[in-house]
Amino acid sequence: MRPIIGISQCLDERERWREGQEYLYLDHAYARAVEHAGGLPIMLPLQRDPAALIEAVDGLLLPGGDDFQPATPYPDDVHFLPVPERQRVFDDALLQSALERRIPVLGICYGAQLIALRHGGSLHHHIPLDVSDACNHQLTESTARHAIDVAPDSRLAALLGRRRVEVNSLHHQAIAEPGSGFRVVANAADGIVEAIECEADAFTIGVQWHPEKLDGPAGENLFKALVGACSRE
């Protein structure tokens, strides 16, 4: 049987699509990428027992999502789209259950940041203000890319098959500190963290770019590695 990859869904509680209704949604690219890599993608809807969901899957994918709200105010011209608190709590519980079961975890953008926060890490909540010499990390064109450097002794370098890759960039928040038990394994030229991974043997990787929208090593290799790690567990 194909490894089952559970994918958390995003919650819309702002009635953006239809008044009086909440929606769960997800970019179809995530499911396509998992299926293409040989896995069976299963959506994980918000509910009361996230641990039971994790018992039913072989691996967890935490996709991109909305913003983490900073503890202190930012200038009025900095806009955040806060992740709903119910979704943040649910995703954190999914992650905790997956870590306890020691199943493979891949976090993408918001998902990578959640991994860092769960382990005591911290974020740059708005890169242009928090890192004065940072490059633009909100590249609006779908074909726009920038290079990242990957630590040669990392699991990520082994699965990508190279130490430098071109990635897309769709974020204004980023990991500042990776948290206990994790290390930074990829950076952009300006030093912004692009990937973290667990220092132990467990397959727990967070990447800041969106591999579901990429071909080649930085895209397909990541999903194949996730599915492959599930097969070996």
To the query of whether residue 109 is one of the catalytic residues in this protein, the response is: yes
Angle, helices 85-101 vs 110-118, to 10°: value is 70
What sign does the CA torsion over 115, 92, 119, 39 have? negative
Q: Give CA 171 to chain center in angstroms.
A: 11
Single out the catalytic residue among 119, 197, 212, 230: 212
Q: Exactly one of 124, 171, 172, 210 is catalytic; which is it?
A: 210
Is residue 199 annotated as part of the catalytic site, yes or no? no
Residue 15 contacts by C-beta under 8 Å, 6 or more apart in sequence? Answer: 21, 22
Other CB atoms within 10 Å distance of the CB of residue 127: 21
Enumerate long-range contacts of 51-56, CB under 8 Å, 24 or more apart: 51/93, 51/97, 53/6, 53/94, 53/97, 54/6, 54/94, 54/97, 54/98, 54/101, 54/103, 55/97, 55/101, 56/4, 56/6
**Total Cβ atoms within 10 A of residue 202:** 18
Give the DSSP H/E element, type plus range, for residue 205. Answer: strand 204-207
**Cβ-contact 72, 27 below 8 angstroms:** no
172 is catalytic: no
- Enumerate the active-site residues: 109, 210, 212
